[in-house]
Amino acid sequence: SQQGEEDPQALSIQEGENATMNCSYKTSINNLQWYRQNSGRGLVHLILIRSNEREKHSGRLRVTLDTSKKSSSLLITASRAADTASYFCALISNFGNEKLTFGTGTRLTIIP
């Protein structure tokens, strides 16, 4: 399967702490993206990291990519209650299809 697998499936932390989520995959990728989904709503794009990049930042978000380990991590620093959501990694493989494949997500809860 080309699907990414997020870890952990659920995470609860205190407001102000950092949250780290991981995504592992099995295929060679072209790029990997992280999305956020508030309960029952559409997904919102957070960051795209290409296969030749190792780290990207966007505000309080930091994404790393290790293609040798076939894994990526999303770090949210100084978490806020509004960060409570599900987070998904999604990837496009290098093997001939155009599908963006999503993982099953990490459910993040920020405790005020």
Name the residues that contact other proteins, by CB under 8 A: 3, 30-31, 33, 35, 40-45, 48, 50, 88, 90, 92, 98-105
Cα–Cα distances in angstroms (integers) from residue 20 to residues 1, 12, 106, in the given order: 24, 11, 10
| Nearest one of 18, 17, 24 to 71, comparing CA atoms | 24
By beta-carbon proximity to other proteins, the closer residue of 44 and 111 is 44
By beta-carbon proximity to other proteins, the closer residue of 90 and 108 is 90
Chain CA centroid to CA 105, Å: 8
By beta-carbon proximity to other proteins, the closer residue of 78 and 100 is 100
58, β-bridge pairs: 61
Least separation, in Å, of the C-beta of 31 and other proteins? 6
